[in-house]
Amino acid sequence: MPENYTIDMPEAVRNIIHTIEEHGFKAYAVGGCIRDSILGRNPDDWDITTSAVPAQIKTFFKRTIDTGIVHGTVTVMVNKTGYEVTTYRIDGEYEDGRHPKSVEFSDRLVDDLCRRDFTINAMAYNDTDGFVDEFNGLDDLDAKIIRCVGEPELRFTEDALRMMRAIRFSAQLGFIIDEDTYSAIGAMADTISKVSMERIHDELGKILMSDHPDYVKRLCDTRLTQYVLPVMDSILTDRRCNSTLTLLMHAGHSPYLRYAALYNATDADNANAELKALKLDNNTINTVTKIVRLSKTSIDETEPAVREAIHMYGRDFLPLLMRHQTSVIAAKEETTGIMMTAARKHVEVINRLYEEIIKRGDCISIKDLDISGSDLMELGMSGPRIGETLNSMLHIVMENPKLNDKETLIAMLGTLE
Ligand code: ATP
Ligand code: MG
């Protein structure tokens, strides 16, 4: 990294820093945005750290939001974007392995940097002073290392979530984890149970969606999964491990597909139980469980069978299932070295039939029928028979779409039982 390296901060960030400096205080862009800029990745958000306290920040800008005044954070609004401006902070004693009991403001940047988790996340920058890199984050970025700021066991004692964050950043960036940091995770693994499942699934989701989803193995090697995710732990510690990691590397870029790959080697009920324990949203739980349950399902290569499958599993679900089955095939091919031509062709045929059915707008649900419940009522039908009749008609029409015509369907009425 050249000495005079500069970071191209967004104009709004430069202006905020400049405004704070004009009032006689210090301000820097800090944390993830600096790390990502140096790596040439687009930062999600730009955090600013400052020597000014929230009450002062609020007087420097027209539009601010009190995001977390007690923690020193004020959001400064520029046009429609918010930038979090946080006072230099020293985190007090941690009471529950997750949250500092109190926070104290400081007027020294280094205090704020040393409360941060990893060296690569503990760098600050502004145009006046350039980089402030007290913990050699630049060197670790170069060497691709995740390393705790300070003593790892102490830092994980303060906040157990950091253990998951270490593995998550290693997966997102393709970094190794420094030996001391890594062994401290192993030593402290049991304390992960203090972390809420919502935070655990946030981090797990980021690992799964990264370019290195197979780094989930590190969660298991450090024994983190042993305490909170028993199903995943058993998959990744027995003979199913390699095929699962290979499958993850072939899985499409969707949380459903990544979770389904992770749990593909267990049965749907086990997968469902762990997804629930992870407190994922119901849609994810149901979709992933369904993929795992239907992972080996084979649909007949006929239009009626594909229409039935779309009706039964859902219009959006079938393509997802096919993507999953394609990944399973690719992973098996990689593991065995044997091409599965027939299986690939089968998925291709189902995909093609699906496309054609959707493009033509074939009838795949009761609302697509050329006859409705009120039509049947007008013909004197009532009660549950209406639904049953429509359902019978749907299956007939899915078998033979030409029959989806009101007169034909009415003519058919007498034959339905
Ligand atoms: P991303 O936004 O991609 O998840 P990030 O590094 O920006 O990565 P955030 O969670 O947004 O991560 O946090 C911003 C910064 O705050 C981090 O870079 C780090 O300096 C600090 N930080 C966040 N969480 C912790 C934590 N649990 N312990 C210590 N420092 C933390
Ligand atoms: Mg961030």
CA of 124 to the centre of ligand 1 (A): 13
**Hunting for tokens 């401006």 — which residue is that?**
85
The pLDDT value given to residue 6:
87
CA of 218 to the centre of ligand 2 (A): 23
Low-confidence ranges of the chain (pLDDT < 50): none
Q: Quick one: tokens of 206? A: 């980021």
- pLDDT tens digits, 12-21: 999 999 999 9
The pLDDT value given to residue 414:
79
Contacts of 159 (CB under 8 A, 6+ apart): 94, 97, 98, 99, 117
CA of 31 to the centre of ligand 1 (A): 7
- Contact yes or no for 152/180 (Cβ under 8 A): yes
Which secondary structure element, helix H or strand E, spans residue 167, and what is its range?
Answer: helix 161-173
DSSP state of 270: H
**Hunting for tokens 């901060």 — which residue is that?**
9
Q: Is the dihedral of CA 396, 397, 401, 403 positive or negative?
A: positive
- pLDDT tens digits, 196-208: 999 999 999 999 9
Is 117 touching ligand 1 by the criterion CB < 6 Å?
Answer: yes
pTM of the predicted structure, to 2 decimals: 0.94
Is 121 touching ligand 1 by the criterion CB < 6 Å?
Answer: yes
Q: Quick one: tokens of 11? A: 């104009």
Is 31 touching ligand 1 by the criterion CB < 6 Å?
Answer: yes
Q: Quick one: tokens of 401? A: 């779409």
CA dist 329 and 346 (Å) reads 11
**Hunting for tokens 């095939």 — which residue is that?**
329
